[in-house]
Amino acid sequence: MAELVFHTGPMDCGKSTLALQLDYIQTTHGRIGRVFTSQDRAGNGVITSRLGLTAAALEVAADFDFWRYVIGELTTGKRVDYIVCDEAQFYQAEQVDQLARIVDELQLDVYAFGILADFRTRLFAGSQRLVELADRVETLPLGPLCWCGARGTHNARTVDGLMVTEGSQVVVGDTGSGREVRYEVLCRAHHRRRMTATRAKATLSPDPLPFDPENF
């Protein structure tokens, strides 16, 4: 039975790495697939993982039709055994419906990868539809830690180290330091309190005030 599988987890948990590994394994066993992505940090038509792997991919624009694409490939004699979809949070809900139809009616496996929720903890449309339709939702086993050491589960958007809660849902970016707008993965408690690493360092300093034991 073909499957629609959604591999999810916060930013920086290894989704793109796993997507490329999965494609590699299938390819080395003689299967022929198609690899898609949408708005990767490195630009259009490419998948990049922070471990250094990079591969060409087909870019999914908002009006791309997966069903028509695959039918077009098959009816012109090309082979498609499976489909890998990275950054699937950015896909339209209708595109996820098309992927489910491909699984059911063409018996092709579809492996999707993406974050569930945005910086405000709201589900992305593509991820919501994947949770609704997938045969299986798999959470990646390893992920980033919050600055407190707990498992990082929620994606925060920061500007100059401070968490913001307003803005466009889509702002392509990274978790590394050095940029004005970036992302930081926090545990839920610290996401709720907007306590980023920078703010924690400033407010939870072990020695916040000068202390003179003579005058104490």
Ligand X SMILES: Cc1cn([C@H]2C[C@H](O)[C@@H](COP(=O)(O)O)O2)c(=O)[nH]c1=O
Q: 8, 119, 127, 133: which one contacts ligand X (CB under 6 A)? A: 119
Cα separation, 207 vs 169, whole angstroms: 38
Per partner kind, with CB cut-offs from 5 to 8 A, the member of ligand ADP, ligand X, none near residue 127 is none
Per partner kind, with CB cut-offs from 5 to 8 A, the member of ligand ADP, ligand X, none near residue 17 is ligand ADP
Q: Which long-range contacts (CB under 8 A, 24 or more apart) does 57-64 make?
A: 57/86, 58/34, 60/36, 60/85, 60/90, 60/91, 60/95, 62/92, 64/95
Q: Does 41 bind ligand X (CB under 6 A)?
A: yes
Q: Does 155 bind ligand X (CB under 6 A)?
A: yes
Q: Does 184 bind ligand ADP (CB under 6 A)?
A: no
Give 1 or 142: the residue with its C-beta nearer to ligand ADP: 142
Catalytic position from the list 59, 73, 87, 180: 87
Interface segment toward ligand X; rule CB under 6 A; list 12-20, 27-35, 62-70, 205-213: 12-20
Nearest partner of 16 among 129, 113, 144, judged by Cα: 113
Cα separation, 71 vs 67, whole angstroms: 6
Cα separation, 38 vs 57, whole angstroms: 9
- Which parts of 168-197 interact with ligand X (CB under 6 A)? 169-173, 183
173 is in an annotated binding site: yes
Nearest partner of 85 among 151, 169, 6, judged by Cα: 6
Per partner kind, with CB cut-offs from 5 to 8 A, the member of ligand ADP, ligand X, none near residue 199 is none
Cα 148 → chain centroid:
22
Give binding residues for substrate as ranges: 170-173, 183
Residues labelled as active-site residues: 87
